[in-house]
Structure 1
Amino acid sequence: MSSIPIERWAFLLADEPDAWTKGFDDSAWRPVRVPHDWSVELDFSPEGASGTGYLPGGIGWYRAHVPLALLQPAADRGAEDAAWSAGGPHVRLVFDGVYKNAEVWVNGYHLGGRPSGHAGFSFDVSEILSYAPDGDVVVSVRVDRTEIADARWYNGSGITRGVRLEAHDAVRVDEHGTAFATLAVDEGAATIRIDQVVVSDLAAPVAVHARHELRSLSSDRVHVFETDLVVPAGDRAGSVLVATVPDAELWSDDVPDLHRLTSVLTWTADDGPHRAEQAEIVGIRTIAFDADRGFFVNGQPRVLKGVCLHEDAGPFGTAVPAEVWLRRLLTLQDAGCNAIRMAHNPHAPELYALCDALGLFVIDEAFDEWESPKNKWWRGHNVYPPAHEGSAAHFPDWHERDLRAMVEPNRNRPSIIAWSIGNEVDYPNDPYASPLFAEMTGNNDADKPAEERRYDPHRPDIRRLTTIARRLAAIVRAVDPTRPVTLAAAFPELSSRTGLLDDLDLIGYNYKEQLYADDHRRFPRTPILGSENGHGYAQWRAVTDNDFVAGQFLWTGIDYLGEARGWPVHGSGAGLLTLAGFAKPGWHLRRSWWSADPTAHLVARPHAGAGVATNLWSHPVARDLPEAGAVEVLAFAGGGTPRLTAGGVELPLAFDETGGYWTTVRDVSAGPSAPADPLVLEVLSADGEAVARDELRAAGAPMLLEASVWTAPAHAAERCRAAGIDVGGDSDVRQVECVLRDAHGALARGEAEISAEIYGGELLGLENGDLGDVTPYRSTSRRTSGGRLIVFARVGGDGAIRVAAGSLPAVTVRA
């Protein structure tokens, strides 16, 4: 199999009725690089929908010209590349995802469309290419995103994921036709199973020899397994191979060892012997959810310390480069995170590949709504009336194909540990209702009108959800019987009584930790998981205090566009990281609970007064100390005993059982040291050694602009490259972290406008993480937030990025 990515396209943000024709003149259209999201290139506007980030949609056209010569075999190519000829046996045009309502033409031939913006799809273009009248193959795509209130979060607009042409021989592995599974791991040896479907376009039956090479990406050890099958004329046949891998190198979150499974098919036709091959990345591992003991990988217990993620990233929208995800995921891992829930739709293939390479467990999720639409807030959260656009309109006709499109391409990924068929489909009165409660209350109904929470017999009956859930679970198990089927329940108090949860292998609870103990007694054989949780210490204690709870998934790991409270705020600030990928105070606190590494971090805020209840979110904290007055100091400490000093004098610390951190109150003006003395937090090991340290002092005005190109740790970059994820090349995205420093080198107090100039490349955007800043992403300057900003650019090896902030000395960094 050979593959050519199609990255260069011409783009028009308008509806051009003749753009589908091969001869249409697109020379005046704007060149773009796919993946591409046009909405983030436009202005934020209060006329947009709050739920989708106040960004516009519209109708857009894409056209790509692929020279037919690229499809011809070059003299130095191997025999497996011969299928690239114009009359080649089998060529597929593959889309990883287009948001949304895509219609596709090749050389003026209409191939079809796909309503979903999250499902991958493909077309057989073999015959059409054989009709090509010249050397120009034209791919035309129309994208209809006129519904801007079509979701509760931002999904972008355009060809937001990769596109490629794949060439295969007449005998080949079927599309997504290989299923790799680990049946058992015992004393180092692993029992694996390879199910494979082979397709033949030949006019006669053919005997095929299949050689499976399982090559370790860590050690280059190769295990070879072989089998034979006969494929009927113009048909398909399956083979099943069960084998033992001695001294198997296992995939886990600790050591995510991967393998490349290469299937080599050989056969003889009338014109002689033939050979074709196909490769994909797999991992050898077993997973299990136990109703009493939680989650296990390779027989070893793990607590899932997870976060939920949407798929946007500031100026990229949902067309996020792998390098940007890599920086974000490594930062989350540094806090102790070991799991990701894909909320609330399948994500781009690159994100799953990174989770495979880095050792992150994944719960993949298919739908946020089923056949009836949820409320979509377009004038602020819970502001009535809602809109009801979105994916529910296509669910009856497309749910099986969309569900299969999630499971089939990803079932060989070791990172995926469960398939979720839905998120909060049982949300009370949104839209399903039940007479069992006179008033129904969900997770965020506090500011809803009372009539919206009462039972209404004219709404769809909630019992309908049970029928749909059984149908969806059966579809998943038919494609992949090796992983549990789950669902993120918003209202398990009721859903456990209507049958919705009966057919699940794993029950996900959204924000209902108080039900864990009673429901474990009610359903002693069903594993329980926190599929969506708040950031509080009590929610984490609900996991640590109950061995039967497999773990939790915070809402969310990273701030995201959409689900906004009201203009000008255009996103949700629920993350541990900002949209710019910088750690918030909550990240440091979480690290003190989750990470095995010692943690020391200090923040402070004005003292609210005795008896005033506070938490990390109701009274924000900062990396700063006031020059006078009473201040509450919060110490996030893990991995030892904390000690706080000022001017060499130890200060008392008390543990806040509600917040999960250490605190002290100090009057700066009357303290035992001068105001200029920093506070010093040390975490001491059992033998008294300081294993972590942090300082906090009164911040000064910005005196220095610090700028550095983010670079992935060598071990992570190596794992990614071995797995086929392109990071660190000359054409890749550069991420320049900008920080304002004071005279002491600490984070400064105050902000500055930062401008960026790119030499030998292009500026991709600036992000400060301020969800109330509606500066267009196409701007070349942006104000810092919390003294930080990140610049994204695509720069070659000889390029440079210059950043400037007012009167501060400008900084130039090399790519």
Structure 2
Amino acid sequence: MKKIYLFISLLLATASLYAQQSRIITPFDDSWLFYKGDATGAEQTAFNDKAWRKLSVPHDWSIEGPYDQANPTSRGGGYLPAGIGWYRKQFTLGKTYASKNVTVEFDGVMANSDVWVNGHHLGKRPYGYISFIYDLTPYISYDKPNVIAVKADNSLQTASRYYTGAGIYRHVRLVAYNTVHFAPWSVYVKSPVATVAKATVQIQAQVVNSTKVAGEYKVTTTVLDAAGKTVSTAGSAKTVAAGQTVDFSFDAQVANPKLWNLDEPYLYTAVTRIAKGSEIIDEVKTPVGIREAKFEAATGFWLNGQNIKIKGVCLHHDGGAVGAAVPLSVWEQRFKLLKQAGVNGIRTAHNPVAPEFLDLCDRMGFVVMDETFDTWTASKPGAAKGYNLYFTEWWERDTRDMVMRDRNHPSIVLYSVGNEIHDSLKDSVGFKKYRDQQNLIHKLDPGRPVTMALFRPNVSGVYANGFADMMDVVGQNYRENELIAAHEAHPNWKVIGTENTHVLSMWLALRDKPYMAGQFLWTGIDYLGEAAWPETTNNQGLFTRTGEWKQQGLQRQSWWSEKPVVHMVRKSDNDGAGNWVADWTPVDFGTYDNAKVQVYSNCDEVELFLNGKSQGIKPKPADDSPRDWDLTFEKGSLKAVGRNKGKEVAVEEFKSAGAPAKILLTATQDKLTHNFDDASIVKVSIVDAEGNVCANADNMVKFSISGSGILQAVDNGDIISHEQYQGTEHKAFQGKCIAIVKAGAGSGTATLKVSVAGLPEASIALQITK
């Protein structure tokens, strides 16, 4: 038996080697030249670009700043720059590519991109969030250098209600394949039957024969488990005529599958190949999550037979200090925080995201509402010159490309075709706009439902005029009582809150109504833009843009977490004035005497102690409201103890901080590789002699890095800070700031040194490996 397995393993390895030779995927991020501004003739091969800046993509030049109230992006774009940016790259292809079709794939270019290769215009894509592919084959050389040029133009403002970024801000790659190959994004794998006993994995693919000769081709899919062991194989053979594209479809059976779920997001791999005889001609690998997801009118959302409330958040695509060019490590750290808060769902507000973002959702166990557009043809305030100018011509192609690219992700359980659309939905024209989009998605990804985030439905009349009846799932932003009333009037409707605030009544609407499938809070993380000067950041998140917990995040964890939780907040100013803060260090000890304290907890009872003296025990309110104390402030210790059935299960303690005495550094990871998506977030905390964070410290923090590291960005999360992110110093905010470090040239140790005037210098070492 071992010999048989060894033989099969060698056979698969050999087949994989041939497949790798048949399809060549080459990262195309490095060695670009960049110019900010327009450059006449820059699309031509002979253009002189010697003075241009050398860099790698993903690259967002808008986040480099500076902030300026006069910038045309205005409040939507966070007062950061807009304009035209050019990118050029010289590349040489060896003989390996000479017999292949060569394409270039862009995951996203912001915005209105034009692409040329060797002076030939390949195409234009207005929508900056969409992925697109161009065929380079007719225009490239194999015996001399080629030049690709990209113009990205977001100078037409105001174009967005939130920060977009600028430039080639997502990954790029070359993909070369044989003249017989899978059409782009055509390999489609889903599991229409998914139980713990068995699963049917359905595979669909399109084979393109761009030769002049017909041929008999076999398409097979081998399903591998997470350890790489084959669990199923299936296939189909057909004749593909010259110049034709033929659909293949077949099923693979998997016995006793491990189902993808929120706690154990198990992924298989489907290896799909085209073969002619014994020759492997093309290969595509697809991660597969076997699961059953559905929405029911009476009971909401179900995953693998389990009734689950979707506890979701909306997320914009920026990563704070890194702008729109976000290393995946930044998203991974943010997702970990969201998981801690009890979040299990993400809405991609309000546009397609980077493909690796969805890969991360698959791996970490989030369900996703995948959204296409923020506008159709009607404009919105602050975005009069946005996608509304292009919707009529481009919606179908952009929707098709998003769905075909994304449909293999098990995390996606719902598509949305719009957010608070201002087009009239009262007539046949408005009905058709929605129906056309929903029908296209149903055609491309049968079985997954479609919704949209309805805007003031009682005002627009969509609950009464038949519009909502067309929707697979009725989604509404805010006004939960309207959605509750609509469902009770139409109990056959499946409903979900597509955008919700942090107040208690909105949580109770989800908690207490079985038919409410879920809700998506506005928002999970503070995001750039949609803020009035001097603010640059919308601060409605559960977390700041630097990853600090906020009051609403602490409260949400007490409602959504399955683990025992206890958190304290107090009003920052005397006698209930100011903001909620999580510390016991007022700005002025002399004038702060009446402290309003709230405790958020899911524990049966909470006891509060001030300097060791009990301030009383309070039971858990039936409506999940906070437990309030009115205290006379005393410097020292404030501690909350949560108990279940009399047993202590959660504790939180604050101590009044003294004068700043030292700097503490912590890193999200201490090892980095030479990969754009690998980054370490180093948190800087100014603390007193006992290690308590000095919550009022706003000292200037200076950074320097030596060795093989790069200081990518610095930030403090302050929504009114206008400091630049790319620099070597930044003020602390509430005693903290961060530095984002990436690998530079070479390997070895990168040492980040941090200094604050009057305090001992601190440092942290990160290991850089190739």
TM-score (ref. length: structure 2): 0.91
Equivalent residue in structure 1 for 2:522, among 538, 555, 565: 555
Task: Call closer, same or farther: CA 1:156–1:748 in 2, change over 3 Å.
Answer: same
Shift of 1:183: 1.0
Quick one: distance in 1 between partners of 2:659 and 2:713? 26
| 1:578 counterpart = 2:544 | yes
Residues 190-339 of structure 1: pairs in structure 2 closer than 5 A? 190-217=199-226, 220-268=229-277, 273-339=279-345
SS of 2:451's equivalent in the other structure is: strand
**Helix, strand or coil: the match of 1:176?**
coil
- Is 1:598 aligned with 2:564? yes
1:108-119 residue pairs with structure 2 within 5 A? 108-119=119-130
- 2:104 matches 1:93: yes
Equivalent residue number for residue 29 of structure 2: 7
Change in Cα spacing, 1:808 to 1:659, as seen in structure 2 (3 Å) is: farther
Residue 466 of structure 1 corresponds to 431
CA distance in 2, matches of 1:556, 1:114: 29
2:344 corresponds to 1:348: no
What SS does structure 1 have at the residue aligned with 2:431? helix
Q: Is the 8 A contact 2:754 2:762 kept in 1?
A: yes
Correspondence for 2:61 among 29, 34, 38 = 38
Cα distance between partner residues in 2 of 1:11 and 1:353: 29
Q: Residues 808 and 136 (structure 1 numbering): CA distance in 2 closer, same or farther, change over 3 Å?
A: same
> Are 1:567 and 2:533 matched, yes or no?
yes
Write the mapping of 1:753-768 to structure 2, written as runs, cut at 5 A. 753-759=700-706, 760-768=708-716
Aligned partner of 1:369 in structure 2 is: 375
Q: Report the 3-state secondary structure (helix = DSSP H, G, I; strand = E; otherwise coil) of the residue aligned with 1:736.
A: strand
- Give yes or no for contact 2:524–2:543 (8 Å, CA) kept in 1: yes
Residue 220 (structure 1) shift? 3.8
Tell me, in whole angstroms, the C-alpha distance in 2 between the residues paired with 1:517 and 1:665: 36
CA distance in 1, matches of 2:58, 2:557: 33
Q: Which amino acid aligns with 1:501?
A: A
Check if 1:534 corresponds to 2:490.
no
Give the TM-score normalised by the residue count of structure 1: 0.86
Partner SS state of residue 658, structure 2: coil
The correspondence for 1:770, drawn from 714, 718, 728, is: 718
User: Which residue of structure 2 lines up, in the alignment, with residue 589 of structure 1?
Assistant: 555
Q: Does 1:745 align with 2:672?
A: no
* Aligned residue among 108, 113, 134 for 1:102: 113
**Contact map agreement 2:203 2:250 (CA 8 A) in 1:** yes
Instruction: Indicate the SS of the match to 1:532.
Output: strand
Alignment partners' CA distance in 2, 1:138 and 1:358 = 39
SS in 2 for 1:332: helix
Classify 1:463/1:228 alpha carbon distance in 2 versus 1 (closer, same or farther; 3 Å): closer
| 1:274 CA displacement | 4.5
Question: Is 2:191 the counterpart of 1:182?
Answer: yes
| Residue 629 (structure 1) aligned to one of 579, 582, 593 | 593
Whether 2:638 is the aligned partner of 1:679: answer yes
1:727 and 1:254 map into 2 onto residues whose CA distance is: 28
**Letter of the 1:644 counterpart:** L
CA RMSD of aligned residues (A): 2.2
Alpha-carbon distance in structure 2 between the residues aligned to 1:95 and 1:638: 46
Counterparts of 1:89 and 1:523, CA distance in 2:
56
Match of 1:784 in 2: 732
Between 7-16 and 729-738, report the one with greater CA deviation.
729-738
- Measured after TM superposition, the shift of residue 273 of structure 1 is 3.9
* Aligned mates of 1:199, 1:164 — CA distance in 2: 21
Tell me by how many angstroms 1:120 deviates.
Answer: 0.8
Match of 1:733 among 679, 682, 698: 679
CA contact (8 A) 1:371 1:395 kept: yes
Which SS does the other structure have where 2:760 is aligned? strand
Return the alpha-carbon distance in structure 2 between the equivalents of residues 370 and 417 of structure 1.
Answer: 23
The whole-number CA distance in structure 1 between the counterparts of 2:212 and 2:624 is: 71
Q: Point out where structure 2 has 5 or more consecutive residues left out of the alignment.
A: 1-22
1:794 aligns with 2:742: yes
- 2: distance between equivalents of 1:239 and 1:58? 45
The percent identity for this pair of structures is 33
SS at match of 1:563: coil
**Alpha-carbon shift at residue 463 of structure 1 (Å):** 6.0
How far apart, CA to CA, are the structure 2 residues paired with 1:194 and 1:135?
A: 40
For residues 542 and 93 of structure 1, what CA distance do their matches in structure 2 show? Answer: 47
- SS of aligned partner of 1:94: strand
CA deviation vs aligned residue, 1:676-704 (integer Å, no higher than 9, x gap): 2x122122232x33221110222222212
Measured against aligned partners, the alpha-carbon deviations of 1:449-486 in whole angstroms (never above 9, x if no partner) come to xxxxxxxxxxxx76642221111111111111120010
- 1:315 and 1:649 map into 2 onto residues whose CA distance is 43
Cα offset, 1:810, TM superposition:
1.5
Question: Of 512, 534, 537, which aligns to 1:545?
Answer: 512
Q: Deviation at 1:490?
A: 1.4
Q: What are the superposed Cα offsets for residues 294-324 of structure 1, whole Å, 9 maximum, x if unpaired?
A: 1011111111010000011122111111011
Please tell me whether residue 507 in structure 1 is matched to residue 474 in structure 2: yes
Counterpart CA distance in 2 for 1:99 and 1:730 is 18
Q: Offset of 1:238 from its aligned partner?
A: 1.1
Task: Identify which of 43, 53, 57 aligns with 2:78.
Answer: 53
- Structure 1 residue 804, shift from structure 2 partner: 1.4
Q: 1:607 to 1:157 in 2, by over 3 A?
A: closer
Alpha-carbon shift at residue 275 of structure 1 (Å): 3.3
Tell me the secondary structure at the aligned position of residue 306 of structure 1. strand
Q: Deviations over 1:347-369 (max 9, x none)?
A: 11111111011001000110111
Give the match's secondary structure for 1:60. Answer: strand
SS in 2 for 1:539: helix
1:809 aligns with 2:767: no
Deviation at 1:521, TM superposition (A): 2.0
Find 2:580's aligned residue among 606, 617, 620: 620
Distance (Å, rounded) in 1 between the aligned partners of 2:50 and 2:261: 50
What letter corresponds to residue 391 of structure 1 in structure 2? Y
Cα distance in 2 for residues equivalent to 1:584 and 1:219? 42
Query: CA contact under 8 A between 1:89 and 1:170: conserved in structure 2?
Result: yes
CA distance in 1, matches of 2:121, 2:611: 75
SS of residue paired to 1:252: coil
Q: Any idea what SS the aligned residue of 1:732 has?
A: coil
Is 1:707 aligned to 2:665, yes or no? yes
CA distance in 2: counterparts of 1:65 and 1:761, whole angstroms:
27
**Aligned equivalents of 1:753, 1:574: Cα separation in 2:** 26
CA distance in 1, matches of 2:676, 2:29: 16
8 Å CA contact 2:273–2:282 kept in 1: the answer is: yes
Q: Distance in 2 between matches of 1:697 and 1:52?
A: 39
CA–CA distance in structure 1, aligned partners of residues 420 and 663 of structure 2: 45
- Gap regions ≥5 residues in structure 1: 74-84, 377-386, 434-460, 670-674, 718-725
Does structure 2 conserve the Cα–Cα contact (< 8 Å) formed by 1:643 and 1:683? yes
- Residues 243 and 606 (structure 1 numbering): CA distance in 2 closer, same or farther, change over 3 Å? closer
> Does the Cα contact within 8 Å between 1:315 and 1:766 map onto a contact in 2?
yes
In structure 2, C-alpha distance between the alignment counterparts of 1:274 and 1:516, rounded to whole Å: 54
Q: Quick one: distance in 1 between partners of 2:177 and 2:678?
A: 29
**Secondary structure in 2 matching 1:700:** coil
Take 1:6 and 1:359, find their aligned partners in 2: how far apart are those partners? 29
Letter in 2 for 1:758: I
Distance 1:221 1:418 in 2: 30
> Partner amino acid for 1:249?
K
- Structure 2 residue 406 is matched with structure 1 residue 410: yes
How many residues of Structure 1 are paired with residues of Structure 2 in the alignment? 729
Q: Is the 8 A contact 1:181 1:482 kept in 2?
A: no
SS of 2:116's partner is strand
Verify the 8 A CA contact 1:56 1:148 in the aligned structure 2. Answer: no
Q: 1:432, 1:520 → 2: CA distance?
A: 23
Query: 1:455 maps to what in 2?
Result: none
Q: Offset at 1:516?
A: 3.1
- Identify if the C-alpha distance between structure 1 residues 777 and 185 changes in structure 2 by more than 3 Å, giving closer, same or farther: same
**Deviation readout 1:493-536 (Å, 9 max, x if unpaired):** 12212333221100111001112332112221111101000001
Q: How much does 1:105 deviate?
A: 0.6
